Chains A and B, each alone.
Chain A
Amino acid sequence: MNPVSELIKNLADQNGRNRHSLLPILQGVVEQEKYLSEYSMIEIARELDLPASEVFGTATFYSFLEYKKMGKYIIRVCKTITCSMKGKNQILLAIEDMLKIDVGETTPDGVFSLLQTNCLGFCHKAPAMLVNNEVYTDMTPEKVRDILSSYLKKQKEGGSHDN
């Protein structure tokens, strides 16, 4: 059995197969896979006996449910007012310069994806960003380079097993 199908089956066993189980299952798949592929959305639809259009509709509605292929580490830089005023653009430029990708893109090696997000609730420590579920605050261009370097280092040491 395909590992994603197995994951979906397990998630459905845990969360149930009702219509309202859809969201936790979508989240579960994103947690593991970083994004929802067409294949996994169709599998979820089949498992819950829902129309694929509804699964797709739900996935495209929520901003933290990605449906395009994502890298292992998803960087989300806060784009709302406070972070913008406190230098979010410099942070973005530093990341783009270091990883050679634009917002919405993934590095060719599939390690990093760069996105922007709405308010993370860390206005008092702006600018803020997320790397997967980890929050980083009071960002400066130097700090962001250090953080990304540590992820790169971790990636080289740990190979592909590390999350």
Chain B
Amino acid sequence: MEMINLTIDHKPVVVRKGATVLEAASGIGIDIPTLCYMKLEDMNIENKPGGCRVCVVEVKGRRNLAPACCTEASEGMEISTHSIRVVNARRTVVELILSDHPADCLICAKSGNCDLQDMANHLGIRKIHYQGEHSMYREDTSPAIIREINKCIMCRRCETMCNDVQTIGVLSAVNRGFQAVVSPAFEMNLDHSVCTYCGQCVAVCPTGALTEVDETGAVIRALSDPTKTVIVQTAPAVRAALGEEFGMTAGTLVTGKMVAALRRLGFDYVFDTDFAADLTILEEGTELLNRLSAFMAGDQQVKLPILTSCCPAWVKFFEHHFPELKDIPSTARSPQQMFGSIAKTYFADKIKVKRENLVVVSIMPCLAKKYESSRPEFSVNGNPDVDYALTTRELAHLINLGNIDFKSLQNEDFDAPMGESTGAGVIFGTTGGVIEAAVRTAYEIFTGKQLPRLDFEELRGMEGLRKATIDFNGTPINIGIAHGLGNARKLLEEIQAGTSEFHAIEIMSCPGGCIGGGGQPYHHGDSEILKKRQRAIYSEDQNKSIRKSHENPYITKLYEEFLGAPLSEKSHHLLHTKYFDRS
């Protein structure tokens, strides 16, 4: 590999050819401020349009300042990253950006988490010397995402996520000059576009231009209504990230504190989505085994591979882009919706509360879950199975409003019966987890034997596309895993072309799976955080005494008392769904 020698702030650096000045500087611990630039290591996600010019540096011998993020290091370069000229230019650039930015910080949803605010603070900007026109654009509200384009700084990170990572292509810069905005085609609203509400644009937006729909107010109203019984379910990925909102290090598991906090907030029952994840495994796993056995018996009609259906953004994705494959994914509803439907039937009967008086709140790492809960097929006479889906960030906000000292809370346990879960339910929160949970159960049902091991390392990891073959006692089962919809698209194209060799495929829309969901605490481009959250999820699994879904005693009881068996008529009615052609 060819190496390049240069000096940055009088320090000699050696980098590989092709590295940028920014990379060279960070290699020796010199921090060049950036705004539009974003890079998620290990995931091949990079955004460097060189548009904001905050990262400019002085290169000796060059007339103009150069943007460090997209200037290649060359032999003998002498770079100053913080000369007076550079700092002045940087301040001017940020002042110019601020001159066309609403000074809404006091009431902005992103306040405290805003990269632009941090930058202005970092550079000590106390006055904006440029006063000019402000761009005005209508606000666009969808079931999950709010676009406030007046706050957009055209960093194009959302476009990178939407077009390159997720390959949805909803967002593009349109118009020219001062009128330029990032918008769906024909400047239509998001809810008319093919947006999947995966929320990755929100996760990377440096300002308040893209935020989630805030439903905390509605939840507080429900909690303070004495006629309502309010129950809550928490998704597996939430417990691995919620602590970050309270200053704890990434990857701290806060399951017990989270339960305690929810109880303090006034929820009547604190349950776990993991319970419904176990239920999903029984339904989806049985479906997989049925299809597999039919396939092996020579049935040509049977559709393989079977695809997971827990991720609502993924569901919307194939409904838009691959409607001809809509028979292939499992018909099982997502854990959130299974929980809602069981809560408003089985559990409501049990505690003798009418459906209308039972409010189901879910805490999700996800924005698409807001959209999913609003889908008409998941409601009965206009009463939704899940009333409100809050994000991890919204829960943190509620806890702060409730004046709860989160860090000093004592651990508490979930309520029975829908709070009991296995390790298999927990790992739903990370890429590879759903299929590993399914394998644990399917193997034992298929072979009738006990699994020799529980940890399937070959299914874990952070690679965007992974495959593994699991030996089902002599029958090899080929498994594919994709996270990020761009990777999912590749697997779907193989299926379309008839070259797919897989029996089962797990797909999660967000990079890293739910731990990297659009509703999680902002990671600000640090992929280490995602890895730490993933490790936390696996350690929670390790610590569970029961780690196979079909061994969850409350699930067994639910089938005995209420559902009958997996894929029974009642399960079909309550736990399965159908998909629509939205092309």
Contacts and interface: CB of A to CB of B under 8 A. Distances in A.
Interface of A: 38, 41-42, 45, 50-57, 60-63
A53 to B, nearest CB: 4
Nearest to B176: A61
Most buried by A among B169, B187, B193: B169
Contacts of A55: 185
A52 B185 contact: yes
A56 B172 CA distance: 8
B193 to A, nearest CB: 8
Interface string B165-197: 000111111111000000111110000010000
Contacts of B171: 53
A51 B184 CA distance: 10
14 contacts: A38-B186, A51-B168, A51-B170, A52-B185, A52-B186, A53-B174, A53-B183, A53-B185, A53-B193, A54-B163, A56-B172, A56-B187, A60-B175, A63-B176
Interface in B252-293: none
Nearest to B177: A61
State the majority secondary structure of interface residues on A: helix
A55 B183 CA distance: 12
A55 B508 CA distance: 28
Contacts of B170: 51, 53
Interface of B: 163, 168-176, 183-187, 193
Contacts of A56: 172, 174, 185-187
B174 A51 contact: no
Nearest to A42: B185
B163 A61 contact: no
B176 A50 contact: no
B386 to A, nearest CB: 31
A56 to B, nearest CB: 4
6 nearest interchain CB pairs? A51-B169, A53-B172, A52-B185, A57-B172, A53-B185, A56-B185
A53 B169 CA distance: 7
Nearest to A56: B185
Nearest to A59: B174
Given A38-B186, A56-B185, A56-B186, A50 B169 contact: yes
A132 to B, nearest CB: 22
B172 A51 contact: yes
Nearest to A51: B169
B174 A60 contact: yes
A53 B176 contact: no
Nearest to A61: B176
